[in-house]
Amino acid sequence: MSDTSPAAPEGLTHVRADGSAHMVDVTGKAETSREAAAQAVVTTRPDVVARLADGTLPKGEALGTARIAGIMAAKQTPALIPLCHPLPLGAITVDFEVAESSVTIVARVATRGATGVEMEALTAATVAALTLFDMIKAVDHLAVIGDVKVLEKSGGKSGAWSR
């Protein structure tokens, strides 16, 4: 199926000329290996980070729970973000960099497809951060989630880049 409506005057890919949103047709794009990494940071108190690290939070082992939540979230991205294409995800990792008063979540996603996986990496990182917040809110309701961003991507016509 081909989208025959003209593009918006400014060339916005997800907006038709009449201003309505639509899903971009990627059927003509070449399938290539594509990867992306994204992060989110949960900032809390040092004593809470220590409890995260040793698994003694009231809700239990938070890092493992957040890792699984992030992986599951990446696979659900097109159900959450309306204009994202469903992709066959070949690899998803969610890792944690624990500092004195913060935890940086780094999610990496890979596929072989016609469009990139930046949104899947962002979804994995942010849902993992939300899960950490849920796990620690009983001991620190003032924790903050921030610094969400794509760190790098590769594959596709636009090539590779990193911050």
Q: How far is CA 55 from CA 48, 65, 72, 115, in A?
A: 10, 11, 21, 38
pLDDT tens-place string over residues 38-51: 999 999 999 999 99
Query: Residue 43 and residue 20: Cα distance in Å, rounded?
Result: 38
pTM of the model: 0.88
- The fold of 32-162 is Alpha-Beta Plaits (3.30.70)
* Percent of the chain scoring above 90 in pLDDT: 67
Backbone angles phi, psi at 59, to 5 degrees: -90, 0
pLDDT tens-place string over residues 145-155: 999 999 999 99
Query: Around 105, how many Cα atoms within 13 Å sit in the side-chain half-sphere?
Result: 36
Q: Which residues are catalytically annotated? A: 134
Q: Where in the chain is the domain with CATH 3.30.70.640?
A: 32-162
For residue 19, the 8-state DSSP code is S
Are the beta carbons of 149 and 38 closer than 8 angstroms?
Answer: yes
Helical H segments across 17-149, by residue range: 46-54, 62-75, 77-80, 118-136
Give the pLDDT mean for 85-98.
96
* Percent of the chain scoring above 70 in pLDDT: 90
**Cα radius of gyration rounded to whole Å, the chain:** 18
Write down the residue that tokens 């309505």 correspond to: 20
Write down the mean pLDDT value for the chain. 89
